[in-house]
Amino acid sequence: MGGQVKFIQGNEACVEGALYAGLGFFAGYPITPSTEIAELLSARLPQKRGIFMQMEDEIASICAIIGASLTGSKSMTATSGPGFSLMQEALGFAVMAEIPCVIVDVQRGGPSTGLATKLSQGDVNQARWGTHGDHAIVALTASNHQDVFSITVDAFNFAETYRTPVILLFDEVLGHMRERLEIPQPGELPLVERLKTALPEGVDYHPYLPREDGRLPMSDFGGVHRYNVTGLFHDMWGFPSENPSIVYGLMRHLTDKIEHHVDDLTRYKEYYADDAETLLISYGSSARSALHVVMNRRQRGERLGLLELQTLWPFPSELVREKAKNARYVVVVEMNMGQVLQSVKSAVDRPDKVSLANQVDGTLITPTTILNILRIIQGRGV
């Protein structure tokens, strides 16, 4: 540490993280509460010889970053719920064509226009299953600006490592709240650069032929190699194929490259989780309230703990099972109707001990609300 200190919004922290990670191209469309990301990058990116493009809608935005990413730029777009819905088709394309890119969803209340200026965490399952067809996806989140910064860097690293779109699920409170951010020195956080093919011009390049370690070297699209990119099932040359063994092989590859690296992809924080009688599981801005409850109750000797998830997809089932093993109560604190709750229930040994403490009225769940719900769960009355 010891870098520049700023007092900024979460959206700005995301911008700082993206620039730190080497963002070269941003395409976006205004939508509350994510607009600040586009606004800041419209000024900051050209100064770094990067490209900022405002598109005519979110479909165009994600498609533009797919195109730009193929040509060799680290690319990102930012939106909120309605825009994220529009992006789903192209998100599936990025999964299928294995194009590294980062999609920021600063969540607001939904469905539809919903609560344009209020928060929710209702897009967790949309991030997982919004686009059609079987696929694996990476979705990350954070609860404070320092973590927003570092998880944004992680998002770019994962995108490049696994050649996959990565979704950052922030929310309105996180995006607009101001707090301290200390920007790490260059080199302090590891950066994964694009793995480029070593093949020279004139040698056949296979865009979808994994190396031994499973990574796929890329060649800048429009550069020295001529190759095919498609959203159809394709072989190692990128040409469409309906051959069942190729279709099956690609489906396995797309799933396994994520699901077999859950350990590497998992980011989390824990507070007194090991000896917790009541374990709270939370993420994003609701984890701030949960953390307050834990710290407060620990001082009074109550055995509360918090597991703060930063990787939501692929869901860290092993981790959750392990941490929840000795807890008498497991309470998922989130601001939706129980989206992570379902994943936690299917991960733990005894689903009946898992409860939900949620709030879905567009305002941040408070420590008092969590405490009241805890009293009910623990059978102590309100």
Partner 1 sequence: MTTSTISPKIIENFDLYAPKLVSKEEFFSPGHRACQGCAEALAIRLMCKALGRDTVITNATGCMEVISSLYPTTAWNLPWIHVAFPNAASVGSGVEAGLKALRRKGRIPDKRVKSVAIGGDGGTMDIGFQALSGAMERGHDLLYVCFDNEAYMNTGIQRSSGTPFLAATTTAPAGKVIPGNQVWKKNVMEIMVAHNLPYVATASPAYPIDFMNKVKKAREVNGPAYVHCLVTCPTGWRSPSDTAIQLGRLAWETGVFPIYEVEDGKYRYTLPVPEKRRPVEDYMKGQGRFRHVTPDQIKVIQERVDVEWEALRLKVENSQSRTEIRERLKK
The residues, ordered by sequence, that sit 6+ positions from 376 with a Cβ below 8 Å of its Cβ are 382
- Per CB under 8 A, the segment of 4-12, 70-78, 111-119, 165-173 that binds partner 1 is 111-119
In the set 4, 5, 48, 57, which binds partner 1 (CB under 8 A)?
Answer: 57
134 binds partner 1 (CB under 8 A): no
Give the one residue of 19, 86, 293, 333 binding partner 1; rule: CB under 8 A.
86
Contacting partner 1 within 240-269 (CB under 8 A):
none
Q: How many CB atoms lie within 10 A of CB 5?
A: 11
| 56 counts as binding partner 1 under rule CB under 8 A | yes
Q: Does 112 bind partner 1 (CB under 8 A)?
A: yes
Roughly how many angstroms between the first and final C-alpha of the chain, as a whole number?
44
Give one DSSP letter per residue of 219-251, joined into a string: --TTSS------SS-B-TTS-B---HHHHHHHH
Residue in 4, 5, 46, 318 binding partner 1, rule: CB under 8 A? 46
Distance of CA 302 to the CA centre of its chain: 33
Region binding partner 1 by CB under 8 A among candidate stretches 41-49, 290-298, 348-356, 370-378: 41-49
Cβ proximity to partner 1, 28 vs 184, nearer residue: 28
Please give the DSSP secondary-structure letter assigned to residue 272. S
Residue 193: DSSP 8-state: P
Tokens 């420590």 belong to residue: 367
Residue 178 engages partner 1 in binding (rule: CB under 8 A): no
In degrees and rounded to multiples of 5, residue 299 shows phi and psi of -60, -25
Stretch that binds partner 1, among 1-9, 110-118, 144-152, 240-248 (CB under 8 A): 110-118
In terms of DSSP bridges, do strands 138-140 and 165-171 run parallel, antiparallel, or are they unpaired? parallel
Q: Single out the residue of 360, 345, 355, 351 nearest to residue 376, CA to CA.
A: 355
Residues 66 to 85 in contact with partner 1, rule: CB under 8 A: 82
**Nearest Cα to Cα of residue 97 among 270, 284, 282, 227:** 227
Is residue 3 a contact residue for partner 1 (CB under 8 A)?
Answer: no
CA dist., res. 137 & res. 127, Å (int): 8
Give percent helix, percent strand, percent coil of the chain, each to the nearest 5: 40, 20, 40
Which range binds partner 1 by CB under 8 A, 4-12, 28-36, 67-75, 156-164?
Answer: 28-36
The residue to which tokens 């601001």 are assigned: 335
- Rounded Cα distance between 35 and 11, Å, is 8
Region from 53-61, 233-241, 273-281, 305-313 binding partner 1, contact rule CB under 8 A: 53-61
Query: Does 21 participate in binding partner 1 (rule CB under 8 A)?
Result: no
Helix axes 10-21, 35-47, angle to 10 degrees: 40
> Where would I find the H helices in 120-201?
124-129, 145-162, 172-176
Q: Does 32 bind partner 1 (CB under 8 A)?
A: yes
Q: Site for partner 1 (CB under 8 A): which residue of 9, 35, 73, 197?
A: 35
Tell whether residue 49 is a contact of partner 1 (CB under 8 A).
no
**For partner 1, which residue of 4, 113, 230, 296 counts as binding (CB under 8 A)?**
113
43 binds partner 1 per the rule CB under 8 A: yes
Give min distance, CB of 241 to partner 1, in A: 32
Minimum distance between the CB of residue 72 and partner 1, rounded to whole angstroms? Answer: 23
Contact set for partner 1, span 276-335 (CB under 8 A) = none
**Measured from the CB atom, is 55 or 360 closer to partner 1?**
55
Q: Which residues form the interface with partner 1 (CB under 8 A)?
A: 28-32, 35, 38-39, 42-43, 46, 52, 54, 56-58, 82, 86, 112-113, 116
